[in-house]
Chain A
Amino acid sequence: MNIATRQNGTSTVVDVKGDIDLYNSPEVRKVILEELKEKKTARVIVNLSGVRYIDSSGVASLVEGLKVSRTLASRFMLYGLSPAAREVLELSRLIRVFEVYASEEEALKAQ
């Protein structure tokens, strides 16, 4: 798995590529929480278009990001969900709690 961040306007986009599982989800969690808690980024957008597989520990990292963002009154968004990632979020009944967009452009435009 590779994870990198980049700025797009006032938002930070977190690009994740590869499988997110117990082996590497701590790294995903670390990057997301660093953006929200330490850098105080107002809008964090996670690009999952390169993620083929995500397990419950990966989902837990995203949920933690969401909860922290709510505490800090910042935004936490996802886009580019693969069928597998969408299925996992649906199975865990969490698809409704996230802001999910089809593309980065849509996420950036969201009010």
Chain B
Amino acid sequence: MEHAVKLNFPSDPRYLGVVRGAIERFASLAGFDEEDCRWITLAVHEALTNVIRHAYQNRHDQPVEMRLSERDGGIEVLMVDHGKGVKPEQMSGRDLEDVRPGGLGLHMIREIMDKAVYSPLEGRNELLLFKVKGSKPSVGE
């Protein structure tokens, strides 16, 4: 049997804390240290807020599916929504030298995760995130 946890929840920001709790505990069970658990939780949370804000355009009653799996020495997160998709080439983080609010989420996801593959499909969008144990994001002071 696959070692995975599936979550189904509405696109309501009230549940973000609940979902973060599940991700952090799953990452811990998968063997990540405390710091990595925080990073993974942040990346998945940012991806989820992008779904709420952009795919569902802040509608709070839309379905989100998430599957957390232990795979290939790491953690894999598959997030599925049925909202508005964007072309992958249109997804770009902003220049970090430009200090202004917004546009940070995508940068965080890419820095933290080893793999982030977004697929706009017919009637659904999939985001596959993967992080292997031991890889660290480049945190610059």
Contact = CB atoms under 8 A, between A and B. Distances in A.
Chain A interface residue bracket vs B: 20 to 34
Secondary structure at the A interface, as helix, strand, loop or mixed, is helix
A5 to B, nearest CB: 21
B42 to A, nearest CB: 7
Contacts of A60: 101-102, 104
B16 A90 contact: no
Contacts of A61: 101
Interface range, B side? 20 to 34
Nearest to A57: B49
Nearest to B53: A22
Contact of B38 (A87, A92, A94): A87
A104 interface: no
Interface of B: 13-14, 16-17, 20, 35, 38-39, 42, 45-46, 49, 52-53, 96-97, 99-102, 104-105, 107-108, 111-112, 137, 139-141
